[in-house]
Amino acid sequence: MDYTGIESIPGISQADFLIVTGDFTNFGEREEASMILDVIRRLNPRVYAVPGNLDKPSVATYLDEVGINIHGKGITVGDLGIFGVGGSNPTPFNTPIEFSEEELKNIVQKAYQQVSSAPIKVLISHCPPYNTATDRIGEDVHVGSTAIREFIEREQPDFCFTGHIHESRGEDRIGHTLILNPGMLKAPGWIDFRRTEGGEFVARLN
């Protein structure tokens, strides 16, 4: 377990809430995830999350039990409609939580329907959309989800915060949607998402 850097994130204890975009563990079980979540919640108890593809199914069950899992769900926080998709599209490595593109299509649409009337929509998708700066392995190989890309092209949420491809820290846009992959926390990598004094929501990589 390596959560190096989390305590040094400026303002983490004062934030309205935290979002974990998946991969609490590296093929770990709920016990490992609970230890990491305990560290996070000591800093800030207001947490939402999706499981990553490297988390075993018991991690997803644990996130459900503690009431923070937004995989396939949408929640409203003020003007924000936050909805989530955990796991990933199929990989060559047979990781613990993977879905077909058709399954991802259905999961993200179900979650979106729960927040479709929110003024600002934020998609938390562990797997990044295909063919962006956030889903690259090496120089030219893109391994993100076509279903997530098609959803973004169609529905145009305001933000998409992702993960999965740890070496593909980056920023991109699909139409109106800003897509951010912070990379690994220990790099360090995290997203600063806030409302300005003028009322606009902004997000940037740190």
Query: What is the torsional sign of CA 152, 122, 85, 116?
Result: negative
9's tokens: 């994130």
pLDDT for res 188:
74
In this model, does residue 5 exceed pLDDT 80? no
- 114-153 pLDDT, tens digit each: 999 999 999 999 999 999 999 999 888 999 999 999 999 9
In this model, does residue 1 exceed pLDDT 70? no
- Residue type at 54 in one-letter notation: L
In this prediction, residue 7 has a pLDDT band, given cuts at 50, 70 and 90, of: confident
Of 138, 27, 147, 158, give the one whose Cα is nearest residue 85. 147
CATH of 6-205, one of 1.25.40.10, 3.40.30.10, 3.50.50.60, 3.60.21.10: 3.60.21.10
CA distance 26 to 99: 18
Phi and psi (nearest 5°) for 171? -135, 140
- 10-62 pLDDT, tens digit each: 999 999 999 999 999 999 999 999 999 999 999 999 999 999 999 999 999 99
pLDDT for res 140:
86
- 148-180 pLDDT, tens digit each: 999 999 999 999 999 999 999 999 999 999 999
pLDDT for res 92:
95
Q: Are 54 and 25 in contact (CB under 8 A)?
A: yes
Q: Are 126 and 143 in contact (CB under 8 A)?
A: no
In this model, does residue 185 exceed pLDDT 90? no
